[in-house]
Amino acid sequence: MRNFIALWLFCWAPIAAHGQAYEELLKAVERGETAAVEALLERGLDPNTADPAGNTILMLAARQGKPDMVAMLVRRKASVTRRSPYGDSALMMASLAGRLEIAKFLVQHGAEVKHDGWAPLHYAAFEGHAAVVRFLLEKGAQKDALAPNGYSALMLAARGGHVEAARVLLEEDADLRIKGPAGETALAIAGRRGHKEVADLLRRAGAVD
């Protein structure tokens, strides 16, 4: 019996230590402590470690706006193309949060600008991050691609009343005529939600009621 207990303790100790290191890693990422995260990676933790929701620590750092941590993780071979169970990538997280510097870095290191489903451009337009929208379009984002909810980036910008994001999309000739699942255009969406400034912008660009 004594030998069994000793063997159990011998096997359990590394598991417990790894679990503690995992918790320390997530807390260090949350606090933005790049040096602490790197030290834990030096101890053998995976740079592609994910939180319980499936978001990798690179995604978390991108969302939180931690450029030094993002750069360190990429240098340590964290995947810039990995997707969460919900389909999010680090670039999508950065785009949603308006982290232009991080978005540029991730694209420079191979992050995908365009793909099926929700894409970084949809996220940037949804939150009205005009500078990120412009950058993604410059890098080849599909301006009229439809998100899974049937909305284009312009329609998402109109929904949120994001004038500057809509203006950037219109400068790139985003299609005003695209209709959503209920037959609504970007102009109809802006009008229904009371976003007069966006509606006026769309009309000046040629949209009709």
Model confidence over 127-180: pLDDT tens digits? Answer: 999 999 999 999 999 999 999 999 999 999 999 999 999 999 999 999 999 999
**Does the pLDDT of residue 15 top 90, yes or no?**
no
Model confidence over 74-116: pLDDT tens digits? Answer: 999 999 999 999 999 999 999 999 999 999 999 999 999 999 9
Same fold, 1-112 and 115-209: yes
Neighbours of 163 (CB within 10 A): 18
Residue showing tokens 């232009």: 100
**Under a CB-based contact definition with an 8 Å cutoff, are residues 59 and 30 in contact?**
no
Full-model pTM: 0.90
**Does the pLDDT of residue 12 top 50, yes or no?**
no
- Helices and strands in the chain: count of H runs, count of E runs: 12, 0
Q: What is the pLDDT of residue 2?
A: 52
**Does the pLDDT of residue 10 top 50, yes or no?**
no
Q: What is the pLDDT of residue 105?
A: 98
pLDDT band at 11 (very low <50, low <70, confident <90, very high): very low
Neighbours of 125 (CB within 10 A): 34
The upper half-sphere exposure of residue 54, i.e. CA atoms within 13 Å in the direction of its Cβ, equals: 8
Q: What is the pLDDT of residue 110?
A: 98
Instruction: Give the domain ranges of the chain.
Output: 1-112, 115-209
**Does the pLDDT of residue 70 top 90, yes or no?**
yes
Model confidence over 17-38: pLDDT tens digits? Answer: 467 999 999 999 999 999 999 9
**Does the pLDDT of residue 16 top 70, yes or no?**
no
**Does the pLDDT of residue 181 top 50, yes or no?**
yes
Q: Which fold has domain 1-112?
A: 1.25.40
Residue 164, class by beta-carbon neighbours within 10 Å (0-12 exposed, 13-18 middle, 19+ buried)?
middle
Q: What is the pLDDT of residue 133?
A: 98
Mention every residue, 6+ apart, whose C-beta is less than 8 A from residue 109: 74, 80
Query: What is the dotted CATH code of the domain comprising 115-209?
Result: 1.25.40.20
Q: How far apart are CA 164 and CA 74, in angstroms?
A: 31
Three-class DSSP category at 87: coil
**Does the pLDDT of residue 194 top 70, yes or no?**
yes
Q: How far apart are CA 69 and CA 66, in angstroms?
A: 5
Q: What's the start-to-end Cα distance of the chain, in Å?
A: 82
Q: What is the pLDDT of residue 87?
A: 96
Instruction: Work out the average pLDDT over 116-123.
Output: 97
Q: What is the pLDDT of residue 1?
A: 52
Q: What is the pLDDT of residue 120?
A: 98
**Under a CB-based contact definition with an 8 Å cutoff, are residues 49 and 57 in contact?**
yes
